[in-house]
Amino acid sequence: MPSEPLHRLTLSEAADLLHRREVSSVDLTRAAFARIAEVEGSIHAFLTLTEDLALEQAREADARIGRGEATPLTGVPGAIKDVICTKGVRTTCGSRILEPYVPPYDAAVITLLKEAGLVMVGKTNMDEFAMGSSGENSAYGPTRNPWALDRVPGGSSSGSAAAVAAGMAHYALGSDTGGSIRQPAALCGVVGFKPTYGRVSRYGLVAFASSLDQIGPLTRSVRDAALVFEAISGYDARDSTSAPLETPRIADSLKVDLRGLRVGVPQEFFVEGMVDSVRSSVEAAIQQMEALGAEVDWEVSLPSTAHALAVYYIIAPSEASANLARYDGVKYGFSYHEGESMWENMEKTRQHGFGDEVKRRIMLGTYALSAGYYDAYYLKAQKVRTLIRREFDAAFQTHDILVTPVSPTPAFHLGAKLDDPLQMYLSDICTIPVNIAGLPGISLPCGMMEAPDGTRLPIGVQILARPFDEASLFRAAYAYEQATDWHHQFPPL
């Protein structure tokens, strides 16, 4: 048996013990639920727990391991963001309007994980319909940061990040529309990876903004993220935006040498108001990459980055207003029945079913798409989106990766930005351009900041690569991680 508690193991460490028969999947699963019983009451990372299902899957995994048919994920407990459809298990998207919804099918990524030997401990809490940067927009109450229970874990994949950080799951799936994997990963001190748009099927991902959404893993190490990425990526004909490419093999070829890697540092990402500790930690991370042999260019410029926030908050709400029109209370989900007409029932269904942030974004999107405003807002935003993508393309002509901050601040206090949506939106200023351009991006721990009350708060660094060049991204992330100790930090719960 390992010397440290099972819940503190990385996915890779747990898989190694399983394959050597030093622990069983049932042991790991029971340890995960013991940890959940210990800390979930303080954190609220889950909306649905699936203990019976997980133990059944664990027993199947142990039998599979015994037959020599295991993959690196077989039998290792994981968690799934509640925006991803799971057959027979409630999927709410953190919204009252889907509170009773139980999907009749699995998302593509769930099918792939089941083939790999999934043990699902539960569905994680999230900002409603993935709209939020703090985890406070869930209709079922906020998730709290395991490092400081009075602070946010980031969003919208708040529960997934908190569950992994607190040791309640060895890995989790999240979704990333404007930073919703990378930002909570940074604030919770874990690894969060958003693949290139089109690399992972969106079939069964409940849509927020279809041209921006992408599924990815949250883990305790870079290699773990690569293993989950390999398991869930690949072409899917059911997703019209899925790229017809082979699944990359990355995890077993990771090295600690960065000689010859060309690193660019876009100055526009070091925004005004960035906390000094964040700036210095990210700069120290880049210097560490330089010490590992990378060639660093500190003077990269992406001038249109300043417009990314405005572009995102036109395109994303516009797509959301179209995608969320299906929630009318007629076929599934919450339905209001006390009105005098069908139209009143439909109106009241949305009034009571959607939260304030979702309503705000639906209205923004409907306005941007309306007659007389489409050209001025939506069409212009799409043109600027093209400029942003072209600037990234130009930067990648001379650089293999770009390195930036993830969030301008560490985790802030619960409630601190709820009354100021613009300040909340600014939390994603470093991550949004990546979704607009469809790039792969990873967040990994690079430092800690001590708050005035003595609380230690994680800081993350973001690494970006050209589309479908996840190998360069993981190469840099792994080499940096192995040269530092930040990924070994664990919250003092």
Residues 243, 344: Cα–Cα separation, whole Å: 42
Nearest to 64, CA basis, from 101, 24, 111, 109? 24
In this structure, the number of other CB atoms found within 10 A of the CB of residue 220 comes to: 27
Q: What is the maximal distance between C-alpha atoms in the chain?
A: 71
* Identified catalytic residue from 95, 156, 233, 427: 156
Look up 331 and say whether it is catalytic: no
Report the distance separating Cα 161 and Cα 190, nearest Å: 7
C-alpha to C-alpha distance for 438 and 203, rounded to whole angstroms: 17
Question: Could you say which of 24, 25, 81, 158 is catalytic?
Answer: 81
What lies within 8 Å, CB to CB, of 106 at 6+ separation is 85, 86, 87, 114, 204
Active site residue: 180, 201, 321, 407, which one?
A: 180
Active-site residue flag, 87: no
* Active-site residue, 407 included: no
Residues marked as catalytic: 81, 156, 180
